[in-house]
Structure 1
Amino acid sequence: MRRRIYPFILGDPGLPMRALVLGGSGQLGLELREVLSNYEVVWTYSSREVPGGVKLDVRDFNSLEDLVLRTRPDVVVNAAAFTDVDGCETDRERCLKVNGEAVKHLVRAARVVEAYVVHVSTDYVFDGERGNYAEEDVPNPVNYYGLSKLVGEAYALSYDDSLVVRTSGVFRHKGYVPYALRALREGREVAAFRGYYSPISARKLAQAVHELVGQRRTGVLNVAGERVSRYDLAVKLKEMYGLPGKVREVQDVQGWKARRPFDSSLNSSRARGLISVELGLEENLEDLLKVEEVR
């Protein structure tokens, strides 16, 4: 196979440190590109053409390794993932390749260039039977998405210079939180699943990752917001901004193919002692409004 050549100047001591962001066109990736301002950022996208980025399907393992080897980043943040939980149930091959096997190849190349790796994982590695999960709790995924992310964690942790960041309900312009805000603002009814999680804005998560990269932490660390039900979150949005819509709690959501953990909330007390980023519910929801202002 012919190796691709990327137009980056390598080895120039006058350049700042380089960060490679996989999944740079996603919600977290967009924020990472902004907060990693002290790095020369190389970032990837996977589908539609995005100016400034490098097109990469992480399932093309040769190209993934090639990109790491040629750009020689000081830091790699893996924000690339197949996050469609129901889609992961029906397309398990793609799910495992993107969320699991790609991490093996990323780590293999990172070892060669001695890059520090931050791998973003999920609260869905837990079964949701009790919630408030700490880093040392034993994972037990109840769907294929969670299983594939757990495989990715194992590959990431096989490399000594890596950090697995477990997070929950990341939102920016997509996800449950923006949906609830739009629906309530338009006077519509929001059907809210009663399960619990720990939603965090992509901006807060990116800021936290930036701080942790500076500390070069390793192992597993939970970085997520406060424990809240989707119902209580929607009610909070309605009250904070005086929105006209209504909130209705539902016991289950019709049409789900994959089982969801009832309470996948994460205990982020360890991270709170390491970073300056505020992870409270109101602070996270305020970020949603800031994103809307610049769109």
Structure 2
Amino acid sequence: MKSINKKKVLITGANGLLGQKLVGFLRLDDSVEVIATGKGPSRLPKKWVGSYSWVDLDITDRDQVLQVFSIKNPGTVIHTAAMTQVDDCEKDMEGCRILNVEAVRYLIEACENNNTHLIHLSTDFIFDGADGPYTEEAKANPVNYYGVTKMEAENLLVQSKIPWAIVRTVLVYGIAEDMSRSNIILWVKKSLEEGKNIKVVNDQWRTPTLAEDLAEGCVLIMKKGATGIFNISGADFLTPYDMAIQTAEYFGLDKSLITESDSTLFTQPARRPPRTGFIIDKAKKELGYSPKSFLAGIGILAKQLKLADS
């Protein structure tokens, strides 16, 4: 029998939420060899061992990046690693720049050496939120340092000589193995179950994105070898208050504990753009992308929580 040449896909940030979903999908694809990378040991589910290879990789170390690429020679890189906590970026600008801009520079250099297709994750926070939801052609104008670094990383790609795709996304939610970070659904559910009153903002608009949908969008881009900018998010245009109400309704919890609030009442180091969200017509048409509704996303998380508890 003739052996199949597998497509080598290297994933950065494989311990993170999106990274875990990508490894979970791609490890089941017989045509793909998955090279999962992250700083330190793998935190991926133990039952997956043997279906991917793990490389301890610090993407802020240029020499290490170039060395790993020369050894592994991936055909595609899906770059999910970044400093994404918006307030942390404001407090540690140097660390944010190293991870969100300089590391991208090293990845581009490594991809140039190997003619690798680089799929790079970006964000709605490159926009000021004055007139969302946005198309791929909208003009970037970030209002916080996180957004500034992600915009600069995009510019590095656009100016590069490699085949690249930029995946812009919004408010990604989901659950994964050994993850400490919560999300709006889990926070609302836990708070209401404990009988706590919560204040949720009603003056910020987003198109929240299920992590599984985002992973599927990245895989579609990889499979098609697509290049350019793609908005990959949910389709529902909601405020956090809307999301909280839908969560309470789904789980049959007391909605009267939820109070609508104005974002000006919250003091945070980083400014948030008020009205972002994405128009995803291009991804639907060119990739066949089809995201779940927010309500369906809550249902998927509810099933995963049950499995985790069983």
Same fold (TM over 0.5): yes
Q: 2:217 aligns with which of 188, 208, 221?
A: 208
Tell whether the 8 Å contact from 1:212 to 1:275 is kept in structure 2 after alignment.
no
Q: CA deviation at 1:101?
A: 1.4
Q: Distance in 1 between matches of 2:161 and 2:198?
A: 43
The secondary structure found in structure 1 opposite 2:195 is coil
User: Is the 8 Å Cα contact of residues 172 and 291 (structure 1) preserved in structure 2?
Assistant: no
Equivalent residue number for residue 26 of structure 1: 16
For 2:62, the equivalent position in structure 1 comes to 61
**Residue ranges of structure 1 left out of the alignment (5+ in a row):** 1-12
Partner of residue 4, structure 1: none
Residue type at the aligned position of 1:93 = E
Correspondence list, 1:278-293, <5 A: 278-293=291-306
On the 8 A contact 1:186/1:244 being kept in 2, the answer is: no
TM-fit CA distance, 1:272: 2.0
In structure 2, distance between residues paired with 1:280 and 1:22: 28
The number of equivalent residue pairs is 284
| Residue 241 of structure 1 pairs with residue 241 of structure 2 | no
Q: What's the % identity of the aligned pairs?
A: 29
Q: What SS class does the counterpart of residue 183 from structure 1 fall into?
A: helix
Change in CA separation of 1:47 and 1:200 when aligned onto 2, cut-off 3 Å = same
What CA distance in whole angstroms lies between the structure 2 residues aligned with 1:175 and 1:20? 27
Q: TM-score, normalised by structure 1?
A: 0.90
Q: 1:213 & 1:190 partners in 2: Cα distance? A: 41
Q: 1:121 to 1:159 in 2, by over 3 A?
A: farther
Q: Determine helix, strand or coil for the equivalent of 2:200.
A: strand
From 39, 46, 55, the counterpart of 1:46: 39
Tell me by how many angstroms 1:204 deviates: 1.2
2:168 is aligned to 166
User: What amino acid is the match of 1:202?
Assistant: A
Work out whether residues 117 and 162 of structure 2, in 8 Å CA contact, stay in contact via their aligned partners in 1.
Answer: no
Match of 1:181 among 180, 189, 192: 189
Contact 2:192 2:254 in 1 (8 A): yes
User: 1:242 Cα shift?
Assistant: 1.0
Per the TM alignment, residue 49 of structure 1 is displaced from its structure 2 partner at its CA by 5.5
**Contact 2:100–2:153 (CA under 8 A) maintained in structure 1:** yes
Report the residue type matching 2:297 in the other structure. N
Q: CA deviation at 1:92?
A: 0.6
Q: Which amino acid aligns with 2:194?
A: E
Aligned partner letter, 1:261? P
Root-mean-square deviation (Å): 2.0
Q: Distance in 2 between matches of 1:59 and 1:270?
A: 33
Is the contact made by 1:100 and 1:150 (CA closer than 8 Å) also made in structure 2?
A: no
Partners of 2:21 and 2:211 within 8 A in 1: yes
Q: CA contact under 8 A between 1:131 and 1:264: conserved in structure 2?
A: yes
Question: Does the CA-based 8 Å contact 2:118-2:163 persist in structure 1?
Answer: yes
Partner residue of 1:150? 151
In structure 1, the residue corresponding to 2:87 is in which secondary structure?
A: helix
Q: Secondary structure at the match of 2:306?
A: helix
Contact 2:59–2:106 under 8 Å retained in 1: no
Q: Once structures 1 and 2 are overlaid, which stretch shifts more, 191-200 or 243-252?
A: 243-252
**Distance in 1, Cα, partners of 2:290 & 2:304:** 17
Tell me what 1:250 maps to. 261
2:179 equivalent in structure 1:
none
State how far apart, in whole Å, the 2-side matches of 1:264 and 1:168 are.
Answer: 8
Secondary structure of the corresponding residue to residue 163 of structure 1: strand
Equivalent pair of 2:15/2:42 in contact (CA under 8 Å):
no
